[in-house]
Structures are given as C-alpha cells and as structure tokens.
Amino acid sequence: MSIKIVQKGHPALHSPAVAVPVTDIPSKKIQKVITDMKKALASQSDGVGLAAPQIGIPLRIFIVSGKIFDESFERGKGISEAQQTPDLVFINPEITKLSKKAAWLSEGCLSVRPLYGEVRRSLNATVRAYDENGVLLERGGGGLLAHIFQHEVDHLDGILFVDKARNIEEHMPEDYDKKS
C-alpha cells in the first residue's frame, strides 16, 4: 500500500504541528508514522525530505532522505537502495542556529506539485531534535541539507514554501507521472 502525500489545501499543511512526547517515540504509533513517512518519501524519486503533515499527520517529525549524502545523487545519477545512506529522522526539531549568509534558492515541494520558486534561505543551519530511538541529537548542515532543514521546519510550523517564494512557476519532473 502506498502512502499518500497530501497536497496544498489539506488542513495538516496549514497548521502548526504538535510536539511528540519523548516517551511516545518508541511507541508502535510513532514508529509506524516514521515507517510510513520513509515509504512515502522513497516513492518519490525527486523527494529529499518529508514532514509528517505531508502525509496528513500533524506531528513535529521530519525525515531527510539518505540519498542526499551519496556521491552518485550529487552527480545526478540514480542509486540503488542497497547503496543508500539511511534516512535521517528528526522529532521535535528546533533550528538552533542559522548562518547570516543567505541566498535565494530554487525550491519545490512534494505537497505543492508542480510548483517551483525561489526562497531566501540561510546557507548553514543547525537543528536539535530527537532521533527515531529517542536520542537527543544536534546536527549541522550546509548547502542542500541546510535548505532541507529550513523547508521541513517551515512545514511543521504550517508554512509552505509558496507562502514565501518568488518567481513561482510550474515544472513537471520527467518521471512525475510514473511515481504519483
């Protein structure tokens, strides 16, 4: 069964998500949400991150696809699941640091198909969150990872990239029809 990614207009995308009690992280319910999110993200070849509200669940959880850390992804080549770095899970994330240096970056969203636009984002970001095992972590990132952190935390705050983007236009990925 495929997990549906909800689209703009769905109430979960436009309201702040609710924090997950840390004691609930190991529960079957939360672990199923994480599993469903990973399946949904894996089903989208052009997806690099996903927030729980994007599958209609208003919880403060997002994941980053492990494929962004693989060299072949950076070169625009496909990778097999066996080669892929595991997805990163962030529960109750807080951005603790943003660089002053920022740029207008191209952005799209699995919940706002087929729109793309430019959003001003910091070039580096640090996030503090719990992982899928309930362990507190702090992770910094630059480039694409920093961009994803900011985009996904916006989702958790009920903000879509189109709410702050400029130069919005439609663009259909080559394999969008095959994966939706």
Tell me which residues are annotated as active site: 152
- Tokens 């640091």 correspond to what residue? 97
Q: What percent of the residues of the chain are helix, what percent strand, and what percent coil, each to the nearest 5? A: 30, 30, 40
User: Rg of the chain over CA atoms, in angstroms?
Assistant: 15
DSSP category for residue 18: B
* Closest CA relative to residue 117, chosen from 8, 41, 3: 8
Upstream peptide bond of 86 is cis (omega within 30 degrees of 0): no
Query: Are the C-beta atoms of 44 and 5 separated by less than 8 Å?
Result: yes
